[in-house]
Structure 1
C-alpha cells in the first residue's frame, strides 16, 4: 500500500507541476481547476503514504525521511489551502517537486528509524516543531518569490512569473502573516520542549536547541523591526532566509548526523 499511494501521489504531483509550468509559460487560466484537482489528488495520496510511514507497531516513526515527507505534505496542504484564498499557484512549481523528492526518499530509503510511544506532551512538542518548520518553509518560498517580483518590477520586467503573482503589497503582507504564525508556533514549540523534554540541552539535542533558539531570535528581531522600523524588501527576505537556514540545520542537521552518518 505504501508503494501504491506513493506512486499515485508522485504521478499527480508531476502532472500538476507540468500543467502549472505550461500555465505560467502560456499565461493561461483555463486549466487552473485541473491543476488544483491534480494537486489535491496528490495531496490525499501523499497523506496516505505519510500515515503508513509514520504509524508502526513500535510507535510513531520519526526517522529523517519520514519526518521530511510529513513536512512536505504539510507544506503542500498550506499552499493548496492558501491558493484558494489568494492566487499563489506558482508556488506549486517549487512545492510539488519537493514533495515528490520527500515521498520517494521516505518510500525507498527508510534509513534509521526512530520510534516514539504516544506520549502526549512530547508528541505535542514534536507536532508544534513540525508545524512551525512547515510554515517557515512556505514563508521562505514566499520571500524568494517576493524578492524576484521586486527585482523584476524595478527592471520593468512584468511578464511571465511576475505578471501571474498578486500585487507586491499583498505578497509582502502574506509573507509577514506566515512569519507571525510560524513565530508563534516556534515559541510554543520551544516552551513545550522546556516542559516535556527531559533535558533539552543534552548532548544529542544541544545543537538543535541552540540553532532553534537562534532562529527564534532572528525571526523575533525581523518581526519587531518590521513593526517599529518598517523593514521590507531585500532586508526582510535575507532575514527570513537566514532564520530558515538556522532552523533547517537545527531541525534536520542533527537528525542527518545521528541517523545517517553515525
Structure 2
C-alpha cells in the first residue's frame, strides 16, 4: 500500500508543479503529459483505496474513505471533461485536491459499521450519489473560478491572472452548466433509487442527509431552469451553485462527520 501511495503522490505532485510552472511562465501545458501522469496517479490511488473500502466484513464507507473516494472521482471527472473542454489548466486545483483527499484517507481512521448484504439497487444508489457529489463539487470549484474572473473584469485590474490563465468567460460558463446538468441528472437518479431501496430513513440515520440533498437538488434544478428560461448566468449563477453545493456537502459529509467522529 505504501508503494501505491508513493506512486500516486509523486504523480499528483508532478502534475501540480508542472501546471503551476506553465501558468507562471506563460508556457503551453501539454495535455498528453498531464493526463498521462494523472491516469497513473488515479490507478495507484484506486489500488490504495480498494482494500480500505472492500473489506472481508463488507463495504467500509467511513468518513476518511469517502473523502479519498470523492477526490478520486473528482479527478476522474476532471480528466473526462478535459478531453473535450479547454480546462487542462484547472489541473492546478484538481491534482492537489486528489492528493489531499488520498492522504487524509490513507492516514485517517474512524469507526464504522461495514455494509453487508447490500442489494444491487442500494449499490447503484451509493455509486451514483458519489458520482453526483463529485461532479457538483467540480461545478462549485468552477463557480469559484468564474467569480474570480468576473471580479477581475469588473474591477478592471491591471494584472488579470485568472482572466489570462483560464479559458474565456464564455467557455467557463458553458462548462459550469455542463457540470451542473450532468450532476443534477446523476443526483436525480440517485435520489429516486434511494427512495425506492431505503426502507427506514430514521432508523438508518439518513433523514437529515436526505433533507439537505433534496434542498440542494431543488436549488440546482431552479438554477438550470433559470438559465434556460431567463438566461441566468454570471456571478448570480456562480453564487447559487456554491450555495447549492454547500447544502449537499452538509448532508453528504457533515452527517458522516457528526455520526462517526462526534457522536
TM-score bin (small chain): over 0.9
Give the match's secondary structure for 1:85: coil
Name the TM-score, length of structure 1 as normaliser. Answer: 0.93
Give the TM-score of the pair, scaled to structure 2. 0.93
Using the TM superposition, name which of 34-43 and 99-108 deviates more.
34-43
Query: 1:126-205 residue pairs with structure 2 within 5 A?
Result: 126-154=126-154, 155=156, 157=158, 159-202=160-203, 204-205=205-206
TM-superposition CA deviations, 1:5-59 (whole Å, max 9, x none): 1221112101110111111101101654433332222112112112222111111
How many Å separate the matches in 1 of 2:53 and 2:142? Answer: 28
Q: Distance in 2 between matches of 1:137 and 1:158?
A: 28
Question: What residue in structure 2 maps to residue 206 of structure 1?
Answer: 207
Q: How does 1:1-262 map to 2 (within 5 A)?
A: 2-29=1-28, 31-117=30-116, 118-154=118-154, 155=156, 157=158, 159-202=160-203, 204-262=205-263
Pairs aligned (count): 261
Which region of structure 1 is more displaced relative to structure 2, 100-109 or 207-216? 100-109
User: 2 CA distance for matches of 1:158 and 1:30?
Assistant: 21
Deviates more, 1:210-219 or 1:80-89: 80-89
Q: Is the 8 A contact 1:65 1:110 kept in 2?
A: yes
Could you tell me which runs of 5 or more consecutive residues in structure 1 were left unpaired when the two chains were aligned: none
CA distance in structure 2 between the aligned counterparts of 1:158 and 1:82, rounded to whole angstroms = 28
Aligned counterparts of 2:231 and 2:182: Cα–Cα separation in 1:
19
- Asked if structure 2 preserves the Cα contact closer than 8 Å seen for 1:69 and 1:102, the reply is yes
Rounded to whole Å, the distance in 2 between the matches of 1:33 and 1:218 is 37
CA positional deviation for 1:162: 2.0
